[in-house]
Chain A
Amino acid sequence: MSRKLIELDHIFKSYDGQMILDDLNLYFNENKFLTLLGPSGCGKTTTLRLIGGFETPDKGRILFEGKDITNLAPNERPVNTVFQKYALFQHMTIAENIAFGLKIKKKSDQYIKDKIKYALNLVGLNGYENRMPHSLSGGQQQRIAIARAIVNEPKVLLLDEPLGALDLKLRQDMQYELIRLKNELGITFIYVTHDQEEALTMSDTIVVMNQGYVQQIGSPEDIYNEPENAFVANFIGESNIIDGIMICDKCVEILGVKFECVDSGFGTNNPVDVVIRPEDVQLVEPGEGMLDGEVTSLIFKGVHYELDVMANGYEWLVHTTRMVPVGTKVGIHIKPFDIQIMNKPQFSDEEALTTDE
């Protein structure tokens, strides 16, 4: 069904001697909502700017529908970009902003007029033609920026953290808006964000990046449920990452206790990282679980409580809807399916981010 639309072929890029992208190979399929996700400085924005034509790679090729576009200027590429800070032309009306690309393409006045009407309708801002950009709110300005890009009928819309400057509620509304737009337009969206929740909500495919390397490519479910390394597990959602030893296939030893799991192919007596999501840690009566521990902290988070449970020398992060007071003795039970085994990081970019929490 879908075919390769954009291909990044052995891309190298560095600024001032600092390597940003190191032999990046990536392709994007047609009609997908693709997200480049990673912490700041991971190379995701550079990747987007390479596709947009604002940067040229030091080495490597960029292919669009099989054609080499590496050296084409931004105005010669069949893609359009939505910038983080809207980048509207403040000296032009909304209609003039939207018409900018069409006038350059020498479209007829009637065509331009119809397109402006269509685009404003699509982003829900009918009747804003003669307003000036500064009289609009941030969310409205970003909708205009999207309208200005899509009237040119690009095959790919590049979005560089477009919701980053908006407040939380508006950001959530715009997420649904973007999914709707993508479905109505039937074009490919390539979206850059550092917000894992945003990525999980909107994407068909997520590309997780760190330190210029791709860590994992997959659907939101894959990325969340089966992270390939400690970086991905830690960056997407919260998790317990524990040192373990793979005793044999489907059997892993964590904190001195043997657990049944569903993974195989990690060798025998091999050190591994074990990921267990906090919502997958089940609290049972002491003695009835695999480990016994004691609740050391309790925080109410709205939907759930966040607990720390000290058991066998490890402080487990646990999400539960049950209120368990600090000091309570509990047992910990984990289903085999909820244990995810990963190889130990071989490179620094695969390690979990350490934050100053």
Chain B
Amino acid sequence: MNKPHLATPYVVWIIGFTVLPLLFVLYYGLTDASGNFTLANIAAIADPIHLKALWLSLLLAFIATTVCLIIAYPLAMIMRKLNLSKGSFIVMLLILPMWMNHLLKTLAWQLLLSNNGIFNTIFVALGMEPVQMLNTSGAIVLGMIYDFLPFMILPIFNALTRIDKDVIDAARDLGANSLTVFRRIILPLSMPGIISGITMVFVPSMTSFVISDILGGGKILLIGNVIEQEFNKTFNWHLGSGISIILMIFVIASMSLMSRRGDKEGGAALW
């Protein structure tokens, strides 16, 4: 059954759309306009504006990931306890928004949060001052959480449902109270799910530029926005590629950190 030639379309696809573009990014990132080798594009990250954008990207991604984890874990625990039909209904509710266009959802939040949006209308009707919500870091984090929460819940829910009920009964049988069962059994056994959840929320949050563009109103620059602007507005592909390489290093570093941790916990990660 070993037919390597069946993988040909996949190999062509990967080379054409992943490997080649990556090589282009590397080439542009390490050369100047006249094609000479330079590290200036990569060193450009030291520019205070770029550094600030990188730091803010890491910070907002970290906050979004943490909040997602805090919401997702207890929810996944509750879903696990529900009977099968109720549990799968909630899973469906979670998956449903994932089928909706990502851009559309973000635009909807833009409307909701705007100065004459539904929240501020309610605030004013209640006699309060309108609150500036749109174009803040908070709005960006909210958008990230809303978009990426299912990617945290599903792997954790998956990991939790794979824990055999007998294993939990066995721990209780050996004298463990609920806290010990959670700490020594449920938490370690769900670690692979937590790790893939963290990776699946942190990485897209860190690299996002659409959410920050729409909910930050172009006033808050994340590293993704910097790269996008270099490519699309200033047409400096060399600088854009240089910063992309830096971002890629961060992504690869965080993913390998996570997958090493995942291996140690002895479970297959889900991504």
Q: A-side interface residues toward B, CB under 8 Å?
A: 52-54, 73-75, 79-81, 83-85, 87-91, 100-101, 104-105, 132, 145, 148-149, 152
Q: Are A152 and B175 in contact (CB under 8 A)?
A: yes
A-B contact pairs, 9 of them (CB 8 A): A74-B172, A75-B176, A80-B174, A87-B166, A87-B169, A89-B184, A91-B189, A101-B175, A145-B170
Chain A residues within an 8 Å CB radius of B174 = 75, 80, 100-101, 104, 148-149, 152
Q: Which of B170, B177, B180, B266 is close to A91, meaning CB atoms less than 8 Å apart?
A: B266
Chain B residues within an 8 Å CB radius of A100 = 171, 174, 176, 184
Chain B residues within an 8 Å CB radius of A53 = 172-173
Interface residues of B in 166-211 (CB under 8 A from A): 166-167, 169-177, 180, 184-185, 188-189
> How many angstroms between the C-alpha atoms of A35 and B98 in the bound complex?
52
Check if B47 is an interface residue, CB within 8 A of chain A: no
> How many angstroms between the C-alpha atoms of A83 and B177 in the bound complex?
19
Q: Are B172 and A89 in contact (CB under 8 A)?
A: no
Counting chain B CB atoms within 10 Å of each CB, which of A79, A100, A148 scores highest? A100
Chain A residues within an 8 Å CB radius of B189 = 90-91
Q: How many residues of B contact A (CB 8 A)?
A: 20
CB A101 to nearest CB in B, in angstroms, measures 4
Q: Are A74 and B266 in contact (CB under 8 A)?
A: no
Check if B265 is an interface residue, CB within 8 A of chain A: yes
Q: Which of A79, A81, A132 is close to B170, meaning CB atoms less than 8 Å apart?
A: A81
> How many angstroms between the C-alpha atoms of A132 and B265 in the bound complex?
12
Query: Closest 8 interchain pairs by CB?
Result: A101-B174, A87-B166, A87-B170, A74-B172, A104-B175, A83-B166, A75-B175, A81-B173
Q: Are A89 and B185 in contact (CB under 8 A)?
A: yes
CB B174 to nearest CB in A, in angstroms, measures 4
Q: A81-B169, A87-B170 are in contact. Are A104 and B164 (CB under 8 A)?
A: no
CB A328 to nearest CB in B, in angstroms, measures 53
Q: A85-B164, A87-B167, A91-B189 are in contact. Are A75 and B266 (CB under 8 A)?
A: no
Chain A residue nearest to B168 (CB atoms) is A87
Chain B residue nearest to A160 (CB atoms) is B166
Q: Are A52 and B266 in contact (CB under 8 A)?
A: no
Q: Are A75 and B167 in contact (CB under 8 A)?
A: no
Chain A residue nearest to B191 (CB atoms) is A91
Counting chain A CB atoms within 10 Å of each CB, which of B169, B172, B175, B185 scores highest? B175
Q: Which of A52, A84, A88, A89 is close to B173, meaning CB atoms less than 8 Å apart?
A: A52
> How many angstroms between the C-alpha atoms of A313 and B171 in the bound complex?
58
Q: A83-B166, A104-B180 are in contact. Are A90 and B266 (CB under 8 A)?
A: yes
Chain B residues within an 8 Å CB radius of A73 = 172, 177
> How many angstroms between the C-alpha atoms of A286 and B207 in the bound complex?
94
Chain B residue nearest to A152 (CB atoms) is B174
Chain B residue nearest to A99 (CB atoms) is B174
Q: Which of B173, B184, B267 is close to A75, meaning CB atoms less than 8 Å apart?
A: B173
Chain B residues within an 8 Å CB radius of A52 = 169, 173
> How many angstroms between the C-alpha atoms of A29 and B134 in the bound complex?
73
> How many angstroms between the C-alpha atoms of A278 and B175 in the bound complex?
49
> How many angstroms between the C-alpha atoms of A148 and B175 in the bound complex?
12
Chain B residues within an 8 Å CB radius of A132 = 266
Q: Are B169 and A54 in contact (CB under 8 A)?
A: yes
Q: Which of A75, A84, A85, A105 is close to B172, meaning CB atoms less than 8 Å apart?
A: A75
Q: Are B169 and A83 in contact (CB under 8 A)?
A: yes
Q: A81-B170, A152-B174 are in contact. Are A87 and B164 (CB under 8 A)?
A: yes
CB A157 to nearest CB in B, in angstroms, measures 11
Q: Are A91 and B188 in contact (CB under 8 A)?
A: yes
CB A56 to nearest CB in B, in angstroms, measures 14
Chain A residues within an 8 Å CB radius of B173 = 52-54, 74-75, 79-81, 149
Chain B residues within an 8 Å CB radius of A105 = 175
